[in-house]
Structure 1
């Protein structure tokens, strides 16, 4: 985003403030263009404002072609090392560090220096796999960055005076929270959509095809389309393979599983397993996948999303929950499904059911049934777009989902 249009990202900035000067690597991960680089830039600016001298800060973006003129990892290490102030704490930011070959040795070499406070970002989960994970076990903290939430977009745009809660939410479910999208939209909607399409293509080409060495791109694209069109539905590699087979696409379930893992590694989709509430254990069959931002589906499938709003509302609630809580799972109680089983950072459990509207008494009864079937006394919530003064049904609180997402409930 433009410097004049920056959003503080308060939650993530506070994490960096709390970890500052601690001898531990701060690893920032997340899908491309969700705001990782901007977050580090804002934190570096804050350091300057606090009295840190510019000479104590080094910021290297490894997607910048000029960086490659420095050379391999050892040359980059030497480049950084000679600029370190020996009697001061030095703040080193390595943006998209996985683009440097053998970057693990660069990171490890800097980490062992007592006067280096190290921050790295990456757009693929492979950043924390293999050798780096072995080298740095117990020596890093990962923070996964998500696109803007609804409350942050309010901060950015300010609430339009004549936009209802429902219209505000509907716009968010279609446009999502990729920050630069909103800058491009000020130019034109076409420009904004082209920007999102280019980001998605980069994710697919750089973070998936190149890293997984996928040769059958046609079938992979079929999987992407299927998953984007199945948000909020239970799927498995076998069910996807079987469904595509009926449409003439032959791809075995093992390949589907690899492709799904690759999309998760690129933070494009998030896999959520099912949890048996009574038996207190994870189930091995069928999961749900949620798309990190709905704008990717909008430009990929080029369909109106109004008919799928219930699923996209569920998608948005999932990402709001993982911003706030430690663990989020899909619940199962008997033959009934609970949309989300949540565990907070103190270990307490709560349950969430999501429905576009429950104005119809039959719909209300259906949505309350899974929560009523849970016999423990943990908090239970029903989130809808209805505006009916937050009634309580047998201990289950019904909340307006827009108010809840904005932090008003």
Structure 2
């Protein structure tokens, strides 16, 4: 069954022939190779590019390596990458004329000195280069710096809910429940049955993500990293920092791990795209607050598998889904903080910090968003919109709820939107 990824396919199409190396990044198994070698390849053919002007090469394919006189087994035994000279000689032999050639490379990090090779191709006017990679080295989110500013990154996420629903056999209500439980990793989505999905997620976590992070960063104590993952999995969307986490380790695990080590582990997890952090932003002061931060998982299925599906709070899961959707749409997302002075029951003035779940920025656009699982009465609604009423600018303020309510504005100009309309309509925030 084919899952269309038109959102990302369009990004690749728009970047054709722009003189840069197109680098598809993202968490492993999110669909990068399929996007490049199936969907984009078919687009090139459909747009009239001759088949012999599309050069596909996968560095983890024994058959492809044979074409350049390399052996996958020998490379493994000798612990080396493919010989770049052999690869470049093969590419030279494929280019027969001055017409445009498209070079689609998969797992390019398995070639030695791949950065230098790709940079050299930038000087060829009839060669347009697209690459993916997903092992320990290429998984890093800063890979674009390897190409000295000449890379053009397309960051890919697991399936959005809208993409998920194109293959889900059921209505949007049951679909969202399954999506929040098992996530959007394509190979998991296409598995049949709860047991198969859960087993696939747990295997991916242990055999792919943990192993890659461990190998890339040469972690001495893998148990500490896994304990940190468990703690983060149990508290998605909660404010924390290395010092707080250190105290949790000390109390729960009787561990002497330092805040510095925890900071390194958090960086490793973010570098692998397994988690993302949202920084706090003082809305009135127009300044960032360095710590604490909130952490969200790039895929909720992986988060749930990490804690064996034992702890599933729909409130936090919905918040994580909204965060991921906003990031996929290209927004920079912060956690809003707004100071407020109010009188308590005794008349004493008390300073409080009110929180806006998400402050979303994209160019000149800004939205303030609250995630409210349910709005059963006016008291709950007043509580959710209270921070909005303290913000004195004119940017749109939005409450997203799982309640089945029509899209509407209240007397304060605050938009209420149900989660299904938000996720399934890419222009929902513009209403």
* Pair in the same fold by TM > 0.5: yes
Q: Helix, strand or coil: the match of 2:399?
A: strand
2:18 pairs, out of 22, 26, 33, with 22
Q: Helix, strand or coil: the match of 1:251?
A: coil
Cα distance in 2 for residues equivalent to 1:288 and 1:33: 24
> 1:72-221 residue pairs with structure 2 within 5 A?
72-123=83-134, 127=138, 136-157=147-168, 160=170, 163=171, 165-185=172-192, 188-221=193-226
1:265 pairs, out of 241, 262, 271, with 271
Name whichever of 320-329 and 330-339 sits farther off. Answer: 320-329
- Find out whether 1:60 has 2:57 as its counterpart: yes
After TM superposition, give the deviation of residue 156 of structure 1 in Å.
1.9
State the Cα deviation string for residues 181-216 of structure 1 (Å, max 9, x = none).
12222xx43232222222222433443111101010
- Root-mean-square deviation (CA, aligned residues, Å) is 2.2
Name whichever of 131-140 and 38-47 sits farther off. Answer: 131-140
Q: Helix, strand or coil: the match of 1:123?
A: coil
Cα distance in 2 for residues equivalent to 1:281 and 1:20: 38
After TM superposition, give the deviation of residue 43 of structure 1 in Å.
0.3
- Find out whether 1:396 has 2:403 as its counterpart: no
In structure 2, the gaps of 5 or more residues are 73-81, 340-352
In structure 1, the gaps of 5 or more residues are none
After TM superposition, give the deviation of residue 131 of structure 1 in Å.
11
Question: Which structure has the bigger radius of gyration?
Answer: 2
Q: Helix, strand or coil: the match of 1:332?
A: strand
Q: How many residues align?
A: 397
CA contact (8 A) 2:144 2:153 kept: no
Answer 1 or 2: which has greater helix percent: 1
CA contact (8 A) 1:269 1:291 kept: yes
Q: Helix, strand or coil: the match of 1:333?
A: strand
Answer 1 or 2: which has greater strand percent: 2
Q: 1:278 to 1:215 in 2, by over 3 A?
A: same
Name whichever of 174-183 and 311-320 sits farther off. Answer: 174-183
Name whichever of 103-112 and 258-267 sits farther off. Answer: 103-112
After TM superposition, give the deviation of residue 52 of structure 1 in Å.
1.5
CA contact (8 A) 2:28 2:209 kept: no
CA contact (8 A) 1:29 1:125 kept: no
Residue equivalent to 1:222: 227
After TM superposition, give the deviation of residue 132 of structure 1 in Å.
6.8
CA contact (8 A) 1:236 1:286 kept: yes
2:358 pairs, out of 313, 316, 340, with 340
Q: 1:353 to 1:124 in 2, by over 3 A?
A: farther
Cα distance in 1 for residues equivalent to 2:178 and 2:210: 29
Q: Helix, strand or coil: the match of 2:167?
A: helix
After TM superposition, give the deviation of residue 115 of structure 1 in Å.
1.4
Q: Helix, strand or coil: the match of 1:34?
A: coil
Provide the TM-score with structure 2 as the length reference: 0.86
Cα distance in 2 for residues equivalent to 1:58 and 1:194: 36
State the Cα deviation string for residues 326-362 of structure 1 (Å, max 9, x = none).
31111111101101111123x1211100011011333
CA contact (8 A) 1:203 1:266 kept: no
> 1:232-311 residue pairs with structure 2 within 5 A?
232-247=237-252, 248-306=254-312, 308-311=313-316
Q: 1:65 to 1:190 in 2, by over 3 A?
A: farther
